[in-house]
Amino acid sequence: MTQHNTAGISLPSDKSPRLTPEQQLVAEYYQHQAMLCQWFATLLSAELDSTTLQAYMAGDAAPLLEELALLPELTESVHALEHAITGLSVLEQPRLELAADFASLFLSDARHSSAPYASLYLDEGRFNGPSAQRMQQRLAAAGYAVDEQFKEPTDHVAIMLDYLAESYRRLALDPTPEAEANVARFVSGELASWLPALATRARQTDTASQFYPALLALLAAYIEA
């Protein structure tokens, strides 16, 4: 979804200073948060392909969801998503019906869908408003741009989560107080401020499966937590 304008960020090599146990825990924590944000971003950037869908229906997501469910703030949302995944097996054509859900939720007219753009919720319903402009500035400052094949405004939830994942990767390498504060401000001001409303819209939309509404509810709870 995003492409680096530079060579990217490399993990510390064997020649890097050894981390203390506390530093190692911090690095692992931020790497894990990056993985979770990337997971959400991937699921919300495009329809599930057949291989991924079959993997989910076979239980491949269970370990990750079980881990998330250990957080009391996420338990209810995790169970709802688990129930939605289980329910995919009763659909006649799961992939096609999920694709239709994706289209009706995220690709339809914003007045009648759960349009996944921050501007719609934070800028009085104006697309490509200040929220998108701020996001574009962040992407430029971070040194990467949106992949040309992902033809969405920069305030699309998947792009914002992808950016957050990269921010966590950078924190894993250099967790300065300033960088941590910047990420915290982004999470609270640019994501937590509108994701609950997105999740509510999705829940109110008629869909064949509860997969995407449950996924968005879990995302909103995760960002809040």
Q: What is the arithmetic mean of pLDDT over 144-149?
A: 79
The pLDDT value given to residue 11: 34
The overall average pLDDT reported for the chain is: 89
Report DSSP state, residue 49: P
pLDDT one-digit tens code per residue, 53-112? 999 999 999 999 999 999 999 999 999 999 999 999 999 999 999 999 999 999 887 666
Give CA angle at 53 (213, 77), nearest 5°: 30
Q: What is the reported pTM?
A: 0.89
Domains present along the chain, CATH in parentheses: 20-224 (1.10.3480.10)
* Res. 194: pLDDT tops 80: yes
